[in-house]
Structure 1
Amino acid sequence: MEQSRSRTLEQELARALRTGPFSAVLHLAIEASGLTLEEVRARLVGQGAHVSLASLSYWRRGRSRPERAESLRVVHALEQVLDLPVDALISQLGPRRPRGRWLSRPLGTLDPTAAWNADTGLGELLDEVAPVHSGVARLAIHDLYLVGPDREEVLVSTRMVVRSHVDRVSRMPVMYRQYEPDGRPPPVVRAVRGCRFGRLRSDPDSGFLVGELVLDRVLGVGETAVVEWEATGVSQPGVDTDFYHRVFPAHVGEYLLQVQFSPEAFPARCCSYTRRTETAPDRSTQDVWVGTTGLAHVVALDVQPGLVGLRWEWG
């Protein structure tokens, strides 16, 4: 019985290698190997190819497919782990394509993994949820960052105006990163207006959270939407917060960042900065006035891919 099942699996795998799709080849190769998904992942990690169980499961079931460079490196390692011919899995992927109604990265944009200098974590989450370049242009983004009386982060509130440049767009990704996550739960996000949250995926090692923001209506080409949401738990609790910045993978027409300080916690100094990537040197810095109500802000127009933020010093 076992020999008959093994022979059948081998025949089905040989057929799938000729006809695809990728998910069928991966599923049958795992079945033929006799390994569990956890064992496959452990062997990949042993080869230095890090991938989440969720990603492997989604690839296997056809819910998503590997497209990013780090994911394709995992696929090459999978071929070795599953004793498949070289490029047997990679060849099933073909050229990068839009998934559903999402678009691959357009020219003149910045891969978010490069912007955050993140080797692992973020790319896998985007593969599971949605690519960042999602068929919409960000016309304007307004962030409000609240700082409490103990110098702690209270929440981040975001309002975004988007315009679709393809037909039938209904969702887009939202990204946050915790620094020094230390096993903390991921940020908590809440839709406020014009949207709701769908899938949420997080990586406890890198501190990334990627959420699927579902619009309250499907957009046609040229149509606009205004969405608002909030996040808490981005900064480390009990630690003085001293900066907030946003990464822009693509051009944005207008960006407004407001930092509202509690009356009990005014900073000694505040300045704005821009960078190409998170770890790159500052391109420009400028002192920013903190008003009598504790509000500081920076406005950027015609924002190119990169990063804009405010940081402050406590007295």
Structure 2
Amino acid sequence: MEEQRPELGRDLAHALRTGPFSAALHLAIEDRGVRLDEIQRQLSAAGIHLSLTTLSYWRRGRSRPERPESLKAVRLLEGILSLPEDSLIVQLGPRRPRGRWLTRPPGTIDVDRLFTDGVSVARAISGLDRWMYHELTRLSLHDLYTVGPDRAETALACRQVLRANVDRVARTVGLFASDDPAAITSINAIRNCRIGRTRHDTGAGLIAAEIVFDRMLSRGETVVIEYEYRSESRVPTENYYRAFTTPVNEYVLQVQFHHDSVPSRCHRFQRRALNAPDQGVWEAWIGSTHGAHLVASDVAPGIAGLKWEWE
């Protein structure tokens, strides 16, 4: 009779779907109640000899399995921790290049596929501090996009809840691309953070900025940050969307229209990439206070937003 595998806890099941590898491994060890020295002994019995330091580094995200013997160990870990076959190994993807500033694990989308053609977000970010996809998990993200009386965007207020997947995480990167390539855009910290270096893509309406937390995070710790972009755009806006390079647990978008500039209709939409076809399109009602919103859970990489039509 086949031995029944124990059920996965909710957090573990989510980590096995979205990664990163370090978070999935850590939660699997916690969920199964197995000590690292016990894991080491079982690996050794199967002919794979790893130090406790190596196992600890994998768990904390300070390194990851790459050598053939290490990948064999990951396969064994799936059995030792009673996990579904391939559930850990798929988190690793192809061997990562050495010396790159950006690491893109499986289940993510290249950031340049999510912004307007001709705008190189990757180039803008490369002028900032190292940005690693796997270091943080977005638990929640709330955007408030404001449209002024001339139908142009005026501001975007952002609130993010982030969890560190590795030790010593101190910052993230914020990106905003205006509908108006000539717009002057700025970013200001509101709560629990400060703004570090910023980069502008002149003529593209893009700003990239370091958002520095009010404290250094250890693995598993969370932070709630709030910041705001201000835009001096003169071009009427017809949509706002958020680009997701990695999965997000919850996304809330509110669009607030000026009472003198209310669209005739509004719809929510999603796309796998900027130039991909719309998916999940349905009407979003504009309320008596001239606002519309969407709420989405377990958002896949891609874009999600609202678009509207002016009379």
Q: Same fold (TM over 0.5)?
A: yes
Match of 2:106 in 1: 107
CA spacing shift, 1:135–1:229, aligned 2, 3 Å: same
SS in 2 for 1:270: strand
Counterparts of 2:118 and 2:240 in 1: how far apart (Å)? 22
Q: Secondary structure at the match of 1:123?
A: helix
2:170 alignment partner AA: S
The TM-score with structure 1 as length reference comes to 0.64
Q: Using the alignment, how far apart are the partners of 1:199 and 1:134 within structure 2?
A: 21
Shift of residue 267, structure 1, vs aligned partner: 1.3
Report the 3-state secondary structure (helix = DSSP H, G, I; strand = E; otherwise coil) of the residue aligned with 1:126.
Answer: helix
Q: Specify the code of the residue in structure 2 equivalent to 1:160.
A: Q
Measure how far apart 1:180 and its partner are: 4.7
Q: CA deviation at 1:206?
A: 3.4
Instruction: State the shift of 1:232 in Å.
Output: 1.3
How do 1:31-110 residues align onto structure 2 when only pairs under 5 Å count?
Answer: 95-97=97-99, 104-110=103-109
Structure 1 pair 135/160, CA: closer, same or farther in 2 (3 Å)?
A: same
Root-mean-square deviation (Å):
2.0
Q: How much does 1:165 deviate?
A: 0.3
**SS of the residue aligned with 1:260?**
strand
Does 2:244 match 1:248?
A: yes
State how far apart, in whole Å, the 2-side matches of 1:199 and 1:96 are.
Answer: 25
Identify if the C-alpha distance between structure 1 residues 132 and 204 changes in structure 2 by more than 3 Å, giving closer, same or farther. Answer: farther
Shift in Å, 1:261: 1.4
Structure 2 counterpart of 1:162: 162
Answering whether residue 139 of structure 2 is matched by residue 143 of structure 1, we say no
Change (3 A) 1:148 1:117: closer
Structure 2 contact 105–134 (Cα < 8 Å) conserved? no
| Residues 122 and 132 of structure 1: CA distance in aligned 2, closer, same or farther (over 3 Å) | farther
Deviation at 1:119, TM superposition (A): 5.4
SS in 2 for 1:124: helix
1:198 aligns with 2:174: no
**Equivalent of 1:266, from 243, 247, 262?**
262
Does structure 2 conserve the Cα–Cα contact (< 8 Å) formed by 1:169 and 1:218?
yes
1:111-161, Cα deviation, whole Å (9 max, x unpaired): 101222645532211111132616110110000011222222221100000
SS of the aligned residue for 2:138 comes to: strand
> Are the structure 2 counterparts of residues 120 and 243 from structure 1 closer, same or farther at C-alpha, using a change threshold of 3 Å?
closer
Aligned twin of 1:224: 222
Say yes or no: does 1:178 pair with 2:174.
Answer: no
The answer as to whether partners of 1:132 and 1:173 remain within 8 angstroms in 2 is no
Check the 8 A contact 1:97/1:104 in 2, yes or no: no
Tell me: CA distance 1:250–1:120, structure 2 relative to 1, closer, same or farther (3 Å): same
In structure 2, C-alpha distance between the alignment counterparts of 1:106 and 1:98, rounded to whole Å: 13
Gap regions ≥5 residues in structure 2? 1-95
8 A contact 2:258–2:290 mirrored in 1: yes
Tell me the CA shift for residue 228 of structure 1. 0.4
Matched pairs, number = 215
CA contact (8 A) 2:157 2:229 kept: yes
Task: Determine which of 274, 282, 288 is the counterpart of 1:286.
Answer: 282
Structure 1: 5+ residue runs without aligned partners? Answer: 1-93
Residue identity matched to 1:191? A
User: Which amino acid in structure 2 is aligned with residue 109 of structure 1?
Assistant: T
Q: Aligned AA for 2:276?
A: A
> In 1, distance between residues paired with 2:166 and 2:100?
12
Q: Could you tell me how far apart the structure 1 residues matched to 2:208 and 2:247 are?
A: 20
Bigger shift: residues 270-279 or 201-210: 201-210
TM-score (norm 2): 0.65
